[in-house]
Structure 1
Amino acid sequence: MAEPVAEEHSAAPLTKPPARRCLPLPAVEPLLFLSTLSVALQGPLATQYLWDRLGAEHGYSGHNSSSTTGCGNGSASDPLQKEVEALVSHWNLYINLGGFFAGLFSVTLFGPWSDSVGRRPALILPAVGMTLQAAVYLLVMYLQLHVAYFLLGRILSGLWGDYNLILASCFAYVADITDKRSRTFRVAILEACLGIAGMLASIGGGQWRKAQGYINPFWLVLSASLAAALYAAFCLQESVKQPRPAKLFTLSHYKAVYRLYTAPENLSSRRALALYSLAFFLLVTVHFGAKDIYVLYELGSPLCWAADLIGYGSAANYLVYLSSLGGLRLLQLCLEDTWVAEIGLLSNISGLVVISFATTTALMFTGYGILFLSMAATPVIRSKLSKLVSETEQGALFASIACVQGVCSLASAGIFNSLYSASLHFMRGFPFLFGAIILLIPAAILGWIEIWDSNHDYFHFSGASPSPADAQQQLSNKE
Structure 2
Amino acid sequence: MKFTDSMKTLYEILRHVSVEPIMFIISMTTFMRQPTNQLLVLHKVCLLNYNATTCNHNMTVDVENDIQADTAYWNFYLKMALLIPGAVVSSLYGPLSDKLGRRVFLIIPSVGNIFGAVALIIQSEITLMPLEYLLATELIVGLSGNVVTTYVVAKSYLCDITDRTNRTKRLGVIKSMSYFGGPVGAFLSGILIDREGFASVYYIIAGIHVFIVIYVAVWLQESQGEDHHEKGGDLELEDGVGEHSEQEDHHKDGAEKEGDETTDDASTRKENKTDEDNAMCRLCGGTRQGLTEVFKGIENMLFVCFRERVGFRRKHLVIVQLIGIIHNIGSTAESDLTVLYTKHSPLNWSATTIGFFFTLRTVLKALTLSLGLPLFFKLTKHHSLRMDLSLASFGIISTTSALVMISFAETTTVMMIAPFVGMFVGFPSLILNAIKSKLVEPYEYGALFAFTALIQTLTSTAGSAMFSSIYAASLATWPGLAFMVTALIYVVSLGLISYLWFDMKKAAEDDQRYQSDDGSGYEKVDTTDEESD
TM-score between the two structures when normalised by the length of structure 1: 0.71
3-state SS of 2:425 partner: helix
1:208 to 184, 188, 192: 192
The question of 1:218 aligning with 2:202 is answered: yes
Residue in structure 1 matched with residue 494 of structure 2 by the alignment: 443
Contact 1:108/1:254 (<8 A) preserved: no
Match status 1:128 vs 2:112: no
1:208: Cα distance to partner? 1.9
The higher relative CO (CA closer than 8 Å, separation ≥ 6) is in 1
Note the alpha carbon deviations across 1:389-411, whole angstroms, 9 max, x for none.
Answer: 44544443333222222234323
Which range is displaced more, 374-383 or 233-242? 233-242
Distance 2:173 2:139 in 1: 30
Other structure's SS at 2:422 match: helix
In 1, are the aligned partners of 2:113 and 2:146 still within 8 Å (CA)? no
Q: Give the aligned length.
A: 432
Aligned partner of 1:262 in structure 2 is 306
Equivalent of 1:330 in 375, 379, 384: 375
The letter of the residue matching 1:255 is: E
The question of whether the paired residues in 2 share the 8 Å contact of 1:286 and 1:439 is answered with yes
Q: 1:74 aligns to what SS in structure 2?
A: coil
Distance 1:321 1:227, change over 3 A: farther
Question: Partner of 2:424: helix, strand, or coil?
Answer: helix
8 Å CA contact 1:102–1:155 kept in 2: the answer is yes
Correspondence for 2:26: 35
Change (3 A) 1:439 1:26: farther
Give, in whole Å, the separation in 2 of the partners of 1:303 and 1:341.
32
Q: Is 1:74 aligned with 2:59? A: yes
Tell me the SS of whatever aligns to 1:262.
coil
Query: Are 1:99 and 2:99 counterparts?
Result: no
Equivalences for 1:167-316 in 2 at 5 Å?
Answer: 193-194=177-178, 196-225=180-209, 230=215, 233-234=220-221, 237=242, 240=278, 243-247=286-290, 251-266=295-310, 268-300=312-344, 303=347, 309-316=353-360
The partner residue of 2:394 within 343, 347, 352 is 343
Q: 1:107 to 1:266 in 2, by over 3 A?
A: farther
- For the residue of structure 2 that corresponds to 1:129, the secondary structure is helix
1:266-322: CA deviations, max 9, x gaps?
Answer: 574433332222111111221221343334444455555566654543333223322
Shift of 1:138: 1.0
CA positional deviation for 1:102? 1.6
Q: CA deviation at 1:132?
A: 1.8
- The residue type equivalent to 2:489 in the other structure is I
Bigger mean CA offset, 341-350 vs 28-37: 28-37
Going from structure 1 to structure 2, the CA distance change for 1:296 and 1:44 (only over 3 Å counts) comes to closer
Superposition deviation, residue 38 in structure 1 = 1.7
Identity of counterpart residues, as a percentage? 20
Q: What residue ranges of structure 1 are gaps of 5+ in the alignment?
A: 1-24, 67-72, 460-465
C-alpha distance in 2 between matches for 1:245 and 1:473: 38
Q: For the structure 1 residues 191 and 321, does the alpha-carbon distance in structure 2 shift closer, same or farther, using more than 3 Å as the test?
A: farther
Task: Kindly report the root-mean-square deviation, in angstroms, between the aligned alpha carbons of the 2 structures.
Answer: 4.6
Change (3 A) 1:159 1:178: same
Distance 2:189 2:445 in 1: 34
Q: Which residue of 2 aligns with 1:138?
A: 118
Gaps spanning 5+ residues in structure 2: where?
1-15, 222-236, 244-276, 527-533
Q: Deviations over 1:364-410 (max 9, x none)?
A: 33333211212222222333334444454444333322222223432
> Greater shift after overlay, 230-239 or 353-362?
230-239
- Aligned to 1:261, the other structure's residue is in SS state coil
Which letter maps to 1:104? A
Cα offset, 1:421, TM superposition: 4.3
Is residue 2:35 matched to residue 1:44?
Answer: yes
Question: Structure 1's 107 and 392: CA in aligned 2 closer, same or farther, altered over 3 A?
Answer: farther
Structure 1 contact 102–158 (Cα < 8 Å) conserved:
yes
Call closer, same or farther: CA 1:130–1:281 in 2, change over 3 Å: farther
